[in-house]
Amino acid sequence: MHAVLLFLMLASGGKAVDVWFTEITPQIDGVIEDVWLQADSAYDFVQHIPYEKTAPTERTVVYVLQDHNNLYFAFRCYAERHRPIACLTTDEDYVRVSIDPFGSKTTGYYFLVFASQLHWDGWVFDDARIWDDSWEGVWYRAVKVYDDYFDVEMKIPFKSIRYKKGLTEWGVQFFRHQAHNQEDAHWIEVAQGENDMVSRWGALKNVNAQSTGYYFELFPEAYVRFDRRYYTDTNSVRTDSTDIKPSASLNFKWDVTTQTTVNATVYPDFAQIESDPFTVNLSRYPTYLSERRPFFLEGRDIFRMSDFGDNGGGFFSPLAVFYSRRIGKSLNGDVVPIYGGLKVTNNSQEWNIGMLGAYTGDFTLTAPGYTLHEPDRWFGVFRARRRIMDNSDLGVLFSATMAGGDDYNYALGLEGIYRSDDDQVIVQGAFSDSTGKHGWAMSSGYQGFLGRFYTRAAIEAVHDSFNVSEIGYVPWAGRKRLYFFSGPGKVHQEGFLRWLCVAPGIHVIQEPGNTNWSKIAGLQFNPVFRRRWGMYLGINAGPYYEADTNYVYRGADLSVWGLVKGNNVNFGSNYRYNWNWRRNFLAHQMTSWFFFGYSIIPPMSVVLSGNLWVEWDTANTIIAMTPRLRPRLDIRFGADKTLAIFNDILLETPGTEIGETRFINNRFGFLFSWNFRPKSWLHVALNDFREHDGEKLEPVYTIGAIKIKYLLYIY
């Protein structure tokens, strides 16, 4: 019977579900009452993993309703073969709704609910090549789990999302994951070699969003921070200072229309509860740091140059002429204060437009042995993106910063993105002006299938004078490169292997300051197995020119990932024989990592992660080994309260003398977070950081903080 239904569905083409209006408001309690059974429904799901284009092992039905102010979804997930799994700290059953309320065919929202009532939400960008969980919306959900099914209800206020006014047909996709057999199923079929593309989603018909008026959100924040810092004065005497810093800030959001939003912040607290992750950087380029600050996360889909997402594998280098971490940057752990910021964004069916401004104050950091100074500075960004040819884009991004008439940095980036099925081509160009010094850059990339050959290609040229160091992240001025890897990629319908791609290729690069071209040949091997295990192996070698020397470069990359009884495991290693910019010599170097999380009981899990950096010279003498361990205990008090206790341990072993291994530093901390209502949080945190002074670990700082953020609604 399932096979017949599946055949009829595949033969019928596109799918649609009608949104029925109701005067009876459904109660969001996880119980599907009679009002739902009168609605239209989506039910003919198609398996994606482990066996694509087959009927799922269990039935799923999704009902859709709306009233004047809200959109409602209800999932009934049958589980006749195995009881649904609900666990706060390991893999569990969950469902997801994705909607495109702009008719854009490239951008949308997603709303995900686990059987344990944990939930995620976020954006879908670039026709689902990027899934971003930084967006935090106001919506409501409830779950009830029974022996042979579970129900999920969702309520999404129209005022909490952006949408094209008057658009009655939205894109929609439904998804279900079963933990016991690792099965994924979509309403709109998704092949294993493809993304869940927005442009292929089904139709949510007869939407009639009737919310009117203006929608305001106010986020007052109160913050108390205790700082105790330790110093060694010029007489080698240990001293310390204690400071208690109460502060308050105000964040403001105003949806001027259903498509246009204004965000403002005054004296924001951008302190990060946890520091950026430690890494040993052996390359010539600075480490790229992810953005985690709320003001910059809101609408960041607009203020970015396009990339290939998580599946890009790092082969393409976008011309990031705006890098938000330049605003309110860190100076040896202290943050340059941001006095205020303003942002205006507009999402529509054809255009994405954004403007951002911020002002940072004069800041001087004085400590024994050094003084750092950052002048007051203005920042401005303008972005416009025009959708063309159904789901492709043209865009422009202008960024600027100024700290006086003779201290400025401007940049202009232009791009075109062409998408067809799973193929994507990006072409970018940029110009910079850094206090009168002009430069240019270009970068282009392709990812997709050339016939049966899965292909990744990139070409890049950055002029020596190109400089966006005060506003963007393109530190490789003077670099030119060509990258091309292509090989047969195939989905296997039967057996233990689900996907396999073997791709030979070449990477040609001219490093800054060199006239010779390095030529690296390589082979990439990427199998993915039936039960959510996979690996990547890459081997590369060839003549290389950098740092006024030439040598035969060798490199190998191995990573393995998967699930062990629902617990994530990830490990791997990278080997290089190249120039070590940390120690300024030609050497061998290896970086290894591992991650393993284990659920002890449903509300408690232990996570152990670590790294090992090994450096040795051309005589095969190990110079140093640098291990890092990070044990962490996660405790969940329901879906909305979390306590994380962690300890970062950084060690160093001179050569192979294991007995002489010593502490470099140690950071202990905990973070308690309570999401007590939509977009409202209580955080309690502690960080204690100590460094080795040659004899023992000495305290550097102890920071404790209590922060509360409360969402006020004003209509």
542 in Cβ contact with 519 (< 8 Å) = yes
Alpha carbons 623 and 80: distance in angstroms, whole number: 59
Q: How far is CA 60 from CA 89, 184, 185, 191, in A?
A: 24, 12, 9, 19
The residue extents of the domains of the chain are: 2-205, 259-270+288-478
Confidence at residue 288, expressed as pLDDT on a 0 to 100 scale: 84
Nearest to 169, CA basis, from 219, 117, 204, 145: 204
| Helices within 471-619 (DSSP H only) | none
Could you tell me what percentage of the chain is helix, strand and coil, using 3-state DSSP and rounding each to the nearest 5? 5, 60, 35
In total, the chain counts a number of residues equal to 715
Q: Which of 119, 114, 112 is nearest to 87 (CA)?
A: 114
- The whole-number pLDDT of residue 510 equals 96
- Give the span between the Cα atoms of 242 and 703, in whole angstroms: 10
**Do 253 and 266 touch, CB atoms closer than 8 A?**
no
Nearest alpha carbon to residue 470 among 408, 528, 395, 563: 408
β-strand pairing of 202-205 with 170-178: antiparallel
The SS3 of residue 158 is helix
Task: Cis check for the bond before 50: say yes or no (omega within 30 of 0).
Answer: yes
pTM of the model: 0.87
Rounded CA separation 636/90 (Å): 12
**Cα dihedral 326, 332, 338, 344 sign:** positive
CB–CB of 127/197 below 8 Å? Answer: yes
Q: What 3-state class would DSSP assign to 10?
A: helix
Find out whether 491 and 454 touch, Cβ atoms under 8 Å.
no
- Beta-strand runs (E) in 368-479: 370-374, 377-388, 392-402, 408-420, 423-434, 437-450, 453-462
Contacts of 119 (CB under 8 A, 6+ apart): 111, 112, 113, 141, 639
**pLDDT tens track for 520-561:** 999 999 999 988 899 999 999 999 999 889 999 999 999 999
| Whole-number pLDDT of residue 488 | 96
User: What secondary structure letter does DSSP report for 303?
Assistant: S
Q: What are the C-alpha distances in Å from 222 to residues 209, 249, 264, 340, 637?
A: 35, 7, 17, 16, 24
Q: Tell me the residue type at 613.
A: W
- State the sign of the Cα–Cα–Cα–Cα dihedral 45, 47, 53, 57: negative
Give the integer Cα–Cα distance in Å for 157 and 147: 31
* pLDDT of 111: 98
Q: How many C-beta atoms lie closer than 10 Å to residue 328's C-beta?
A: 24
Residues of the chain falling short of pLDDT 70: 1-13, 212-214, 234, 269-278, 310-313, 333, 367-369, 715
Strands 119-125 and 140-145: what pairing? unpaired
The maximal CA–CA distance of the chain, rounded, in angstroms, is 85
In whole angstroms, give the CA distance from residue 48 to residue 92.
17
Cβ distance 568 to 550 under 8 Å?
no
What's the fold here for domain 2-205?
Immunoglobulin-like (2.60.40)
